[in-house]
C-alpha cells in the first residue's frame, strides 16, 4: 500500500516551504505532489516550494470563490490531468495551513480501497458550525451557513441526486482538516463530479456512500478537535510547541499560518 501527499497551496510561500520540509522529515520516501491554486502571476514567489515537491500542478486560474466552493472538483482536475499517472494507492490531501507532527501512515493503517477518511463528517441534520467535534451533539441542529444562505444550491443538489440515483439519499457534510482518498475513489468520483451542482462540503461526502464507498474511522486522540477550527482562528505556535513536547500531546493543528522553522526542535 503506497501513500502520497497532495499538498494544496496558494499563499504564504515561506509557510508552505516550512510545511513541505516538515512533511519530508516525518514521512521519508513519501512523494509530495503540489496543487497550486494561487492568483495568476504569483507563481514566481513559490519557486522554492515547487523545487521541494516531487511534482507540481498549476490548476487553471479561476475565481477564488469558485475554487473554495469546488475544492473537490479542483482535486478531480488534478487527478485527471496528472494524479492518475502517478504511483499511489492512498492520497493524503494536505492543505498548506495544516500542521501534522507524526507520520501520515498512522492514519492509513488498515484502510482498503473502499475506505475514505473524513474526520469531521456527519449527517447534515447534526451539523452545527459552532461545534467542531462531530462526536458532540449539536447545540443548534442545522446551524450551518450553507443551510441558511445556500438553499437554492442545496435544492439543486438534492434534485440532481433524485434524478440520477432515483432517490433522496442521506445528505452528509464535512469540515475536515484533511482527507485520505483511495485511488479507486478518485477514479470513480472524478468521472461523475463535473456536472453535479452544490457546494463541496456536502457534495463530496454525500457521494461517498452513493458511489459504493464508506467512511473509515481511525482512532483519533481525544484532543484532536481541540486544535482544529473552521473559523480561520490561527493556532498559536506556542501551543503547538507545548503539545509537541508532550508524549500524549496533539499532533494535528489547523489553521496555522506562520512558518514553524526552528520551533519544533
Note the pLDDT tens digit of each residue in 14-35.
999 999 999 999 999 999 999 9
Note the pLDDT tens digit of each residue in 57-79.
999 999 999 999 999 999 999 99
The three-class DSSP label of residue 26 is helix
The answer as to whether 128 is a domain residue is no
The answer as to whether 248 is a domain residue is yes
Note the pLDDT tens digit of each residue in 127-152.
988 888 888 899 988 888 877 777 89
The answer as to whether 138 is a domain residue is no
The answer as to whether 237 is a domain residue is yes
Q: How many domains does the chain have?
A: 1
The answer as to whether 159 is a domain residue is no
- Rg (C-alpha) for the chain, rounded Å, is 18
Full residue range of the structural domain in which residue 243 is found: 3-121+175-253
The answer as to whether 191 is a domain residue is yes
Q: What is the CATH number of the domain that holds 223?
A: 3.90.550.10
Note the pLDDT tens digit of each residue in 206-217.
999 999 999 998
Q: Which residues have CB under 8 Å from 172's CB, separation 6+?
A: 121, 122, 123, 124, 202, 205, 206, 208, 209
Q: What is the pTM of this model?
A: 0.95
The answer as to whether 43 is a domain residue is yes
The answer as to whether 213 is a domain residue is yes
Q: Which residues have CB under 8 Å from 227's CB, separation 6+?
A: 235, 239, 240, 243, 250, 252, 253, 254
Please check the confidence at residue 231 and state whether its pLDDT lies above 90: no
Amino acid at each position: 500500500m503506497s501513500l502520497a501527499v497532495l499538498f494544496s497551496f496558494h499563499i504564504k510561500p515561506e509557510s508552505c516551504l516550512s510545511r513541505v520540509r516538515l512533511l519530508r522529515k516525518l514521512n521519508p520516501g513519501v512523494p509530495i505532489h503540489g496543487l497550486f491554486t494561487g492568483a495568476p502571476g504569483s507563481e514566481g514567489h513559490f519557486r522554492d516550494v515547487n523545487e521541494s515537491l516531487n511534482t507540481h500542478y498549476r490548476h487553471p486560474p479561476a475565481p477564488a470563490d469558485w475554487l473554495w466552493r469546488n475544492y473537490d472538483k479542483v482535486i478531480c482536475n488534478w487527478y485527471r490531468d496528472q494524479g492518475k499517472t502517478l504511483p499511489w494507492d492512498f492520497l493524503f490531501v494536505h492543505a498548506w495551513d495544516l500542521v501534522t507532527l507524526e507520520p501520515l501512515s498512522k492514519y492509513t493503517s488498515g484502510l482498503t480501497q473502499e475506505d475514505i477518511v473524513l474526520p469531521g463528517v456527519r449527517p447534515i441534520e447534526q451539523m452545527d458550525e459552532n461545534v467542531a467535534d462531530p462526536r458532540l451533539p449539536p447545540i443548534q441542529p442545522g446551524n450551518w451557513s450553507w443551510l441558511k444562505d445556500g438553499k437554492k444550491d442545496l435544492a439543486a443538489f438534492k434534485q440532481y441526486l433524485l434524478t440520477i440515483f432515483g432517490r433522496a439519499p442521506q445528505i452528509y457534510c464535512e469540515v475536515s482538516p484533511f482527507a485520505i482518498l483511495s485511488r479507486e475513489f478518485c477514479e470513480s468520483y472524478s468521472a461523475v463530479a463535473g456536472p453535479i451542482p452544490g457546494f463541496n462540503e456536502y457534495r463530496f461526502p454525500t457521494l461517498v456512500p452513493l458511489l459504493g464507498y464508506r467512511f473509515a474511522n481511525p482512532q483519533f486522540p481525544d484532543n484532536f478537535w481541540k486544535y482544529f477550527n473552521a473559523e480561520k482562528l490561527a493556532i498559536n505556535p506556542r501551543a503547538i510547541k507545548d503539545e509537541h513536547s508532550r508524549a500524549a500531546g496533539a499532533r494535528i493543528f489547523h489553521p496555522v499560518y506562520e512558518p514553524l522553522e526552528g520551533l519544533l526542535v
